[in-house]
A and B are shown apart, each in its own frame.
Chain A
Amino acid sequence: MRQVISVAFQGYIWFLQRCGLFTYEIEGRERLRGKNKLVIANHPSLLDVVFLIALIKQANCVVKAELWRIPVTRGPVTAAQYINNHSTELIGECVASLDKGDTLIIFPEGTRSVPGVPPKFHRGAANIALLAKKNITPVVIECVPATLLKGKRWYHIPATSPHFRIRVLPEVDLQHYLDSDAMQSRKARRLNTELESLFMEKLQFES
């Protein structure tokens, strides 16, 4: 089922692009090949997850609980067995998914990015990475001009068609965190700060 969604999203992106609704470029695509990766991305637009799932054939994804209530999306998210972000065992389910060999996509901001504001990550993704002992593959997504933003209606379309730039960065190595005997809470904070700084640098925010 996850593969079906992936192919459908590939088709959707191809279609929208052919319609001239947007253009896109992807750097470092080969870094998403292979199985069992923990992918984290910023979330400027509603199309981000469409791109990521299209790029990764068998991806598990943490999805907001509302999508189990909307009739159109309920079927797919249930069939694909995506992880519900309101699950009481959220962290455990994510770690189990990675242990099982899935590739997991998380948007650590927890919601769409606020334009012009440096990304602020929840620590869940950092905690999951440390517990699953899984290096992180960061994906930096930019969309110029902004479209399908948080706080704007979907029909507020910019005058020029937007350009998506998607950069898959080299893995963030967790070894020095795993070797440290600090407590989980402290390691997660350090890792989270490292990830935020990385995204801020790539998105050219002053730290």
Chain B
Amino acid sequence: MHTKESIYAYLVSIFVDLFEVEASAICLEARLYEDLDIDSIDAVDMVIKLKELTGKKIQPEAFKNVRTVQNVVEAVYELVNED
């Protein structure tokens, strides 16, 4: 079972380990591109990592409109709780 909190914690670990973002810069309101310097290629790697977490297929389209960290958390949360 994934809560929004656990998804957020996992995202923070991806951002720090993979994208070398300063942990202090990450918050729910942070914008991926403008604030955290995460580009479209990084997003592909992020989706791969999120697949590992959820064990579900993720269509990149599901993330088409995400702008902030909060958006990602919500999108993943919806994904793991749909059925």
Supposing A183-B18, A186-B20 touch, asked if A123 and B44 sit within 8 A by C-beta, the answer is no
Residue of A nearest to B41 (CB): A127
Report Cα–Cα, A122/B18, bound state, in Å. 17
Number of interface residues of A (CB under 8 A): 11
Cα–Cα, bound, A122→B42 (Å): 13
Contact B41 A91 (CB under 8 A): yes
- Tell whether A189 is near chain B: CB-to-CB under 8 Å: yes
Chain B residues within 8 Å of A186, by CB: 18-20
Q: How large is the interface on B (under 10, 10 to 19, 20 to 34, 35 or more residues)?
A: 10 to 19
B45 lies within 8 A of chain A by Cβ: yes
Q: Are A123 and B20 in contact (CB under 8 A)?
A: no
A183: B residues at CB distance < 8 A: 18, 45, 48
Closest 8 CB pairs of A and B: A185-B42, A185-B45, A183-B45, A127-B41, A185-B18, A186-B18, A185-B19, A189-B20
Can you list 12 A-B contacts (CB < 8 A)? Answer: A91-B40, A122-B39, A123-B41, A124-B39, A183-B45, A184-B44, A185-B18, A185-B45, A185-B46, A186-B18, A186-B20, A188-B41
